Amino acid sequence: MATADKIGKYRGFVVDIDAPGFPNIALDYYEPVTLSISADWRETSIRLRSEPHHTYVSTRARVMTINAKIPASVEQNDGGTIDEVTNKIRFLDSLNYPDYGMGEDFIRPPHRVRLWLAGIISEQGYIKDLNVTYEGISSKEGNPLLATVQFSFVVVHDSPLSYSNFASDTILGNVGT
């Protein structure tokens, strides 16, 4: 387990894929980023056999848990406003809900977003859960200057994943053969 002085802080972004032009949320996220993956296998008993036969059923959604801070940039003279943190949290919160559209009779699923983390993780999916703690309340305006967030991000792939998506010759030890 990492100690507080060894925990890394990195830059990340949440971008709404389904609504281009909406604001991108910049965040400072912290290790660890947790990825949960679980496969369902069905056991079938076979007569005269000591072990059951295992049949692949499905893999549950890949869920990442992210811990991040969203700071106000008003002190940095970059055009940020005092209600910037509140607006970013409202935007992240809106991504938890379905889109009822403008006067349409059907419900669309939550907006897909692209999650970029330190240039090493770039996944598309949707935000499932959001927990917010407001910190550093401005005494003058009463707005938060910092928010600590934890959210679950469900990864959605364009096509089904398979063994070959992950197993390369390098990983399998077949380099040069």
Single-letter amino acid code for the residue at 65: T
Are the C-beta atoms of 114 and 122 separated by less than 8 Å? yes
Query: Quick check: is 141 in a domain?
Result: yes
Domain containing 122 equals 18-36+60-156
Position 131 scores a pLDDT of 92
108 found inside a domain: yes
pLDDT digits (tens, 9 = 90+) for 108-156: 777 888 888 876 678 889 888 899 988 877 767 777 778 888 889 898 8
User: Within a domain: residue 132?
Assistant: yes
C-alpha distances out from residue 167 to 35, 155, 162, 175, Å: 18, 19, 9, 12
Pairing of strands 113-117, 39-44: unpaired
Residue 172, H or E segment: helix 169-172
171 bridge partner residues? none
The CB-side HSE value for 87 (13 A sphere, CA atoms) comes to 12
Residue 106 lies in a domain: yes
Adjacent-strand bridge partners of 147:
70, 134
Give backbone dihedrals phi and psi of 101, rounded to 5 degrees, phi first: 70, 180
Residue 114 lies in a domain: yes
pLDDT at 168: 60
Considering the entire predicted model, what is its pTM?
0.69
pLDDT, residue 116, reads 83
- Domain tally, the chain: 1
For residue 93, tell me if it sits in a domain: yes
Q: Is residue 53 part of a domain?
A: no
Please check whether residue 122 lies inside any domain of the structure.
yes
What residues of the chain score a pLDDT lower than 50? 1-7, 77-78, 170, 175-177
CA distance 30 to 47: 52
pLDDT of amino acid 9: 58
Helix runs in 22-168, H state only = 84-94, 163-166
- Cα torsion 120, 94, 160, 51: sign: positive
